[in-house]
Structures are given as structure tokens and as C-alpha cells.
Amino acid sequence: MKQGKFWEFHDKLFANQKKLKRNYLEQYAQELGLDMKKFKAALDNKTHFARVAADILEGGQVGVSGTPSVYVNGVKASGTDFAALKKMVDPILIKKGYKKSDLPEAPALNIALNISPYKGSKDAPVTIVEYSDFQ
């Protein structure tokens, strides 16, 4: 979303998964204070259609069959809860030189997200990709 409210809009969609028709999308955009002219133009022109189609195709190519589907460094996670991901991620971090005592024992409660649909460095020791769906 080019208006800087990607995660806010994302959260609205997930909170209202049975209300995704255009009138609701416009309502959510207005509630978030988006520029309605730009928002409606993006819908009318299907500005993001190609990106969404490419993401769906990419997910299918790596075996995504439902959501959420999470991969850690190219390996499909056996679960999406903290404990399952910790079993996969901790050995990677330890191999990269992190101390076991420095690794979290519980998920962070306040995670700061930027406005991009991804976050992190290309050089991060762990890559987590989540494929998700609004329906």
C-alpha cells in the first residue's frame, strides 16, 4: 500500500474477513485516513493485481496449499506457533554465533512493524516468509 498504512489496512482486513467487498474496503480506507481518490483509482485500475497474482503463483510453486504457510530459510515450518518456529530458528542462530542465553524464550509482545510488507536485512541469519490470505 503506497499510502503508508499497509499493516493498519492488513489488520482491518483480517479483523473483517467476511466483509471484503468494495464498499467495506473503501470504508476501511476512509477510517484509516487514506487519500480516497488515490485508493479508489488503485482499485479501479487494478494497480496491485499483478503483484497479488505473482505472489499467489510464487506460493503455489513452493508448495503453499493453505494459510498461513511459513518457511524458514526455504524449509516449510511444521507449525506457526512460537515453539515450533523456535525449534527451527534457534539452531540457525546458534550456528551463526548467537548465544543460547541470548535467544528469546517467549515471543515479543510489542513488535514494531514498518510500512512494508516485509522487514529485515538481506544478510539476516534467518529468513521467515509467511504466505497469507484475506479469506
Question: How does pLDDT run across 60-88, given as a tens digit for each residue?
Answer: 888 887 777 888 888 888 888 889 999 99
Instruction: Give residue-wise pLDDT tens across range 84-113.
Output: 999 999 999 999 999 999 898 987 654 444
Query: E-assigned strands of 12-68?
Result: none
- Whether this prediction's pTM lies above 0.85 is answered by no
- Across the range 38-48, mean pLDDT stands at 94
SS3 at position 65: coil
- Give the chain's mean pLDDT: 83
Does 31 score more than 60 pLDDT? yes
